[in-house]
Structures are given as structure tokens and as C-alpha cells.
A and B are shown apart, each in its own frame.
Chain A
Amino acid sequence: MDFDLNDEQKMLQETVTRFVAETYDFQKREHALRTPDGWSREAYAGLAEMGLLALPFAEEDGGFGGGGVEMMIVMEALGRGLMVEPYFATVVLAGGVLRHGASAQQRGDIVPGIAAGERILTLAHGEKGLPRHTLAARTTASASGDGWTLDGRKIAVLHGQSADTFIVSAITGEGLSLFLVDAAAAGVTVEGKRGYDGVPVATLALSGVNVPKDALIGATGQGEGILARVFEEATAALVAESVGAMAETFDVTVDYLKTRQQFGVAIGSFQALQHRAVEMLMQLELSRSMAILAALSLDSDADQRSRNISAAKAQIGKSGRIIGQEAVQMHGAIGITAEYKVGHAFKRLTAIDALLGDRDWHLARLVEKRGVYPASA
């Protein structure tokens, strides 16, 4: 049992935390949100320069072979800065599909571009009218000539408006399958919106989109298995990101309690607020424990992994809500203004709960598995 980071991990933590603190303050973020992309190419290039975009990929693909702990470190730091750049969409989600499903040829074609920050990929999976976090899809891919023709509509595609390539899930005769779709292909329509958390989000319409044979990732029918694995890794990453956002929210709130004066004293001298700040700290530490558990579970057997990751996501759903709501409340009116960081953290925490299965979804999965602890424990 050991909860210490090794020297390399400590260095990674120091580097990325300093990068976020020094180059991505709240004003920079606000500025990025107002650009046409809605995020900062400069900041993303900075992540590329540090090698973070290559982090989880295998060394033979030009990556660093980083595991769950390294991803936790990076995501927590990005969470502190409420970074809206496409790291999660491109490196974690699309990158995860590439790592777990793509051929060496496909990885060789795509990973270097991702690592350099030149290519933006994202996963297009969710659809309207289906359960909100499911491996099912209604989008179809039918064999046509030497390739496939895709038809369907995808929602909540993170950074869809910036993507040069989509990874699209679609039903074939053998079940759910994954395809690389060029954003410039005929029949692709992207309708972009700004997410309430600042992260751009899009609807992707596919109307008779033809893709070549080698656009298929893995074999037909392998989509479910690949996505299930990727979603677990991505959930662990989101849990870590939420811990960063919670930690930042907590720190800002405690500072505010010490400086905001009312009735002639700092409001942090009031016991009603002190106890609530302590509850925030407790929720933060419970969540941090679960982020560690999730990160360390990625290489466990499938059953234990999914129990631990669902437990972690369920925990941060609750803790994130408590910390976000309490931070806004204790700040008072300033907490609900767009010009102040806490409200944005609250919104990102809300989005994180909604993504990849909310607290209720993961609790339901735990019910199905008869709990967090295996029966023998």
C-alpha cells in the first residue's frame, strides 16, 4: 500500500500544475471563451509542448505510456484551471478508442498529429431518444462498394465544431462498430453550441456519409467492448478533473470567508459558515480518495475495475454538487455572476456529473453488481 507519487510523477504534477497556474488564469480563460473556437490554441500548444497530449499513448506510437496515475495528475491540474481545451475529447476519449481499438496503421496515421496538437478528434456516440449513457446507437453503417455509408444523428459531441475527424459509433450487421469520419466528408453537418461549462459541444448529422473500408476501427461488432473500456478510463479521468475543480472551488471559498467583511467581521468567523466549509473539505477528501482508487483500478480485473470506477463517479457526483452549491451560496450574489470563477467551477462540476453516467446511473450499475464490495469481502 503506497499513496505517494514517484519522482517522475511528482515532476509531472509540478510541471502541469505550474503551467496551469501561470498561463491559464481566469482572465485568460474568459478571453479564450470569446474567441471563435471558444478555446485557446495557444494553451493547447502549451500542453503539446509539455508532451501531455502524447501522455497515454504507447511508446511505439510516439507516446509516453502514461497510466491511470499520470492521467489523474494531469486531469486534476486541468480541473483546477477549468480548462476548456479539447484534452478530454481528443486525448482521453478519441485517444482511448485509438489505443484500445485502432490498428497500428491507424495509430501511426493519427497519433503523431494528436501529440503535436495539430489534430482534433472527438467521439460522437450519444443520441437523442436513447438512454443517456448507453452502449446502444441507432446510427447505421451499411456496407457500400469498397467502404461504408453512415446515417444518423449524434448529440453532445464535445468540441465537435473543432474536430477534423470524428469517431462515430454505428450499428452494422455485427452490432456496434466504430468509424473514423472526416469532418470535411460530404453529408457531414456540424451544428456547434457553447456548453454551459464553457466546453464547446455540437450536434453531428450524418446523411449518406461514405467512408473508406479502412475507416473501421477494429472489427465490426467490437464497438461495445472498446467503448466500455474507454468509458471507464475516461470516467476515472473525469473524476480526477472534478477533484481539481473541487479543490480550486474550496480554496477560493475559504479565501473569501477570510476576506469578506460583513457586520464588521470576516464572515469566516461565523460558525454556521465554518461548519459548512468543513463539510466541503470532507467531501473534497473523500473525492480525492476515490480519484486515487479509480486511477489505481484501471489495471484491475474488469469486475473490480467497474465497481471501483462507478463508486468513484457516484461519490464525486454527490461531492461536486455539495461543493459547487455551497461555494456559490457562501459567496452570496457574487457567486452567481459570470465574472467570478466559482460559478464557472459549479457549472463544470455539474457537467462532469452529467457526463458518462451521473450519480444515479452509477449507483444503478452498482445495484446490478450487488454493491461496491465483491461478495467475498
Chain B
Amino acid sequence: MKLDFTPEETAFRDEVRTFLKEALPEDLRRKMINRDHLTKEDTVRWQRILNARGWAVTHWPVEYGGQAWTPAQRYIFQEEMALAHAPEGSPFNVNMIGPVLCKFGTPAQKDRFLAVTANIDIWWCQGFSEPGAGSDLASLKTTAVRDGDHYVLNGQKIWTTQAQHADWMFGLFRTDSSGKKQQGITFLLLDMKTPGITVRPIETIDGEHDANEVFFDDVRVPVENVIGEEGRGWDVAKHLLGSERSGIARIGLSKERLSQLRALESRLAADGTLTDEEQRRLAHKLAEVEVELRALELTQLRVVAADAHGGGANAAASILKVKGTEMQQRMTELVAELAGPAGLAMPDHDHAPNDPDDGWIGAAAPFYFTMRKVSIFGGSNEVQKNIIAKTMLGL
């Protein structure tokens, strides 16, 4: 047993660090530090810089542009990205539809979509949830009825993140309702410009517009856009939701937030905002949160090391989603506490840049509010616990 990275891994870390230092545009870095709103163009610009280096879709198979990295390298890359304040690419492109196409796509689908997905020449959104199908996703009702060479879609999706930017959607649609609810679901790709699609914004509690409702009214989708087989979409969706566990706890992100908290601790102590007693209490809270972060980080590293041997079922892996999201939420909660009454004023709605010194104050509470979503999306933490109880504990 040993904790240290190998010399090769340390050299890799330096290579990533050097690249990020040179390649990450300063304006993007500042925006990330100040918790400014990132535009679609910001995300696309950074993704293309990464893609030019061959590092946009590193966990895809090598023949589709991925890197033959070890789990430790993937962990290092992700941590360095977070510590360098680099934006994350589009998860829908990189972590969701990309791996699905690599595994289930036909040669024609791969040719058509993979390269443009990696480069965000097309921006994807995910059409899974419906008003009546959240945690119970398989009860989804939006129908796709076969009509010649097309499916005709009718119904509604909801919580569709960034649908307003999206060129294409991947989603789950009901092609058969005669059997078990997991059967008869088909995974489809559709062009968002197809007639009959209406996108309606949902404002969230952070004052932002990231989520949407998407309505389908006789939307015609070519049959060639089925991923896998008709009626087998549930298997595709399970693969999508189960991939990428090396980064699921997002330790790097929490470490970056921690360093922000440590900087704020010093600053607010120095400028007189915090009384001695408040400083004492804050220091205690930060120590508590660091202990748990360290435990989570080690647990993540155990999973990374196990994955290097082929992985498999691992009790440590199952806790990462739940504890990782709780940790991310705790960090934002602490920043919001520090902002205090000065943080009541919301940032400007025109997305003017936050003040470099005090921008964090206005951004703190909205960020805290919006981060409540991380324990809800992608399978709520309660659903995760149901899965762990069933698969790990046999209950």
C-alpha cells in the first residue's frame, strides 16, 4: 500500500498543469473564480481548445478520440481542471450522448455525430424526465408512434437543461405500452429545429434560466435516429447513467471551493467582518468539512485504484455520488453563510461581470440555492440509496 502517485503520474500531473496554465483563457478563468455566468460561447470556446489538444473527450474509446489513460490519470486530469478553475465541458455531449454513441451507435451514426459532438459543433440536451416521470423514470409517457420511415412524437419533457441552446436532443420515448414499463421505451435522437417542438423556459430559485419544458406536437423523427433497438432504450439509459464513476464525487471541485473558503476566511477576519467568536466557529466548521472531504477523497482514490484492476462492484464506489453531492452542497452553504446580509442583493440579471473582489458575495446565495439540484438530478440521493440497499446490502 502507498498513497503517492508514481513518477509517471506526477509527470502527467505537471503536463496537465502546464497545459492548463497556458491554454485556459484568462477571461474564462476570472469568470470561474468570480462565479460569473458562463455563456454558451464560453463553454464551446473552452471545449474546442481542449479538443484541439485531444483532451475534450478523454474517456471515450481511443478510436473515437479518447485517451488510453489509467483511472489515476483520469482522476488527476479532473482534479487539475477544477483546481485551475477551468470550465467543465457540456456534460450532455461529453459524458452522456458521446459514450452512448460509442457503445450503441451504428457506423453511420458514429460518423455523423461523434466528431461534431466532441467539438460541440452540435449542442445536445437530454430529454428524459417528464412531469409524471421523475425518480420513476420508466413510467414516461411521451409517445413515439411509427408512421412509415418516421416516428411521430407527442407529449412533454421537463427539466431539460439548456434546451434553449440545444441543436439536438437525445431522449427516451414510449413506442409500446403493452408490457412492463421498462420495455417499450426507445432511445431517439432528434433535431431541435424539427417542426412541432416548443421550448418553454423554467426560472429556477437562483434566478437563472437553465431548465426548460419541451413540448412535442406531432414531431416527425426519422427511424434511422433510433439508438440501439426499438423498445430497448431502457438498457441504453442505464448504461448512460452508470458510466463515469471516477469523477462522480467531484472532489476537485470541492477542493477548489475549499480554497475559496480558506481565502475568504482570512479576508473576512482581516477586514473586521468576522468577530473572534465567529472566526472560531468558522474555523471549526471548516475543519469538520475538511475531515469529511479528506475521507471522501481517499474513498475516491480507492475506487480509482480498484478500477485500475478492472473495478467491479465496490462498496466504496456506491457512496461517492451521495456523499460527493452532500459535500458540494455543504461548501456552497458555507460560502452563503459567509456572505451574510450583504449577500441578499442578487447579481445583475444582464449577467454583467461580478466585481472581482466582492462578486462572490452576490453569487454566494444563488449558488447555494442552485446546488440543491445535485442531489436530485441523475437519480436522486434517495434513489441511489434504494439502489445501494438492494445491490450492496441485499435488502
Contact = CB atoms under 8 A, between A and B. Distances in A.
Given A274-B386, A281-B392, 10 more contacts: A1-B72, A2-B2, A278-B389, A285-B319, A286-B295, A289-B295, A311-B290, A315-B291, A373-B255, A377-B255
A271 B387 CA distance: 11
Contacts of B296: 286, 289
Interface residues of A, number: 45
B47 to A, nearest CB: 28
A372 B291 contact: yes
Given A1-B4, A296-B1, A371 B316 contact: no
Contact of B3 (A275, A278, A296, A311): A296
B301 interface: yes
B9 A274 contact: no
A293 B294 contact: yes
Given A282-B319, A366-B290, A1 B386 contact: no
A367 B284 contact: yes
B264 to A, nearest CB: 14
B294 A373 contact: yes
Given A257-B395, A275-B385, A314-B291, A281 B1 contact: no
Interface in A17-71: 69
A315 B1 contact: no
Contact of A289 (B290, B299, B306, B395): B299
A240 interface: no
A151 B262 CA distance: 47
A366 B293 CA distance: 14
B291 A269 contact: no
B382 interface: yes
Contacts of B301: 1, 3
Interface of A: 1-5, 9, 69, 254, 257-258, 268-269, 271, 273-275, 277-279, 281-282, 285-290, 292-293, 295-297, 308, 311, 314-315, 363-364, 366-367, 370-373, 377
| Max count, chain B CB within 10 A of own CB: residue among A4, A254, A285, A292 | A285
Contacts of B394: 254, 258
B389 A282 contact: no
A24 B5 CA distance: 39
B294 A69 contact: no
7 contacts: A254-B394, A275-B386, A278-B389, A286-B299, A315-B294, A370-B262, A371-B286
B44 interface: no
B4 to A, nearest CB: 7
Interface residues on B, range: 35 or more
A281 B292 contact: no
A268 B369 CA distance: 34
A126 B68 CA distance: 56
B331 to A, nearest CB: 14
B246 to A, nearest CB: 13
B388 A5 contact: no
A311 B294 contact: yes
Given A293-B3, A372-B291, A254 B298 contact: no
Contacts of A268: 393, 395
B295 to A, nearest CB: 4
Given A3-B302, A281-B315, A371 B295 contact: no
A258 B390 CA distance: 12
B385 A1 contact: no
Interface string B270-303: 0000000000100110111011111110110110
A364 B280 CA distance: 10
B318 to A, nearest CB: 8
Nearest to B83: A377
Contacts of B283: 367, 370
Interface string B1-28: 1111110010000000000000000000
B288 to A, nearest CB: 6
A82 B318 CA distance: 28
B291 A363 contact: yes
Contacts of A372: 287, 290-291, 293-294
A290 B385 contact: no
A311 B296 CA distance: 12
Nearest to B4: A1
| Max count, chain B CB within 10 A of own CB: residue among A269, A277, A292, A372 | A372
Interface string B302-314: 1011100100000
A370 B262 CA distance: 9
A278 B280 CA distance: 33
A239 to B, nearest CB: 11
Interface in B113-144: none
A271 B284 contact: no
B158 interface: no
B388 A278 contact: yes
A304 to B, nearest CB: 10
Contacts of A363: 284, 287-288, 291
B294 A285 contact: no
Contacts of B85: none
A121 B41 CA distance: 70
B290 A275 contact: no
B295 A290 contact: yes
B202 interface: no
Contacts of B294: 290, 293, 308, 311, 315, 372-373
A289 B393 contact: no
B1 A292 contact: yes
Interface string B32-64: 000000000000000000000000000000000
A373 B296 CA distance: 13
Nearest to B319: A282
A274 B393 CA distance: 9
A286 B286 contact: no
B392 A285 contact: no
A371 B287 contact: yes
B89 to A, nearest CB: 25
Given A274-B386, A275-B382, A1 B284 contact: no
Contact of A3 (B1, B5, B286, B386): B1
B210 to A, nearest CB: 29
B323 interface: yes
A257 B390 CA distance: 13
Given A1-B301, A258-B395, A296-B2, A286 B292 contact: yes
Given A1-B305, A286-B319, A363-B284, A254 B393 contact: yes
Given A286-B295, A314-B291, A372-B293, A277 B389 contact: yes
B322 interface: yes
B315 A373 contact: no
The 7 lowest CB-CB distance pairs between A and B, nearest first, are: A289-B298, A274-B389, A372-B290, A286-B295, A366-B287, A282-B319, A268-B395
Nearest to A375: B262
